[in-house]
Amino acid sequence: MQSFYSVDEIRQQIPSRRPYKEFLRVPAMSCGVYVLRVGEDDLQQPHNEDEIYYVTSGVARMKVKRENEPEEDRVVTSGDVIFVAAHEEHRFHSISQDLVLLVVFAPSMTV
């Protein structure tokens, strides 16, 4: 297992038909790069794992619906970190610049 990774290199390996490329999986967590292009829809569904998104580049909006709280909808851009708890509804939308995200699931994402 390697210790060093390049988001740009992983991004180049993502097939055009799939926006997500996992590059690390251990029992405690899994990591991948998620790319959404301008005008694309974010089709993901809530996950069984907690997750962190780190925006490496791009601009979009993101909605997160936490249980028993009002929905949050805000602009996300390079350098932003977003935490989404397991089972929470969330979605990127209004993508105005291609969005490249580093994603960490804990524990490891189920496939």
Under a CB-based contact definition with an 8 Å cutoff, are residues 94 and 76 in contact? no
Say how far apart CA 101 and CA 111 lie, in whole Å. 19
CATH architecture of 19-106: Sandwich (2.60)
Calculate the CA dihedral of residues 3, 110, 62, 21 and round it to 10 degrees.
50
Residues 15, 43, 78, 28, Cα dihedral to 10°: -80
Q: Could you read off the pLDDT tens digit of each residue along the chain, which spans 111 residues?
A: 899 999 999 998 887 778 999 999 999 999 999 999 999 999 999 999 999 999 999 999 999 998 888 999 999 999 999 999 999 999 999 999 999 999 999 999 876
Record the pTM.
0.91
Domain extents for the chain?
A: 19-106
Residue found under tokens 């390697």: 2
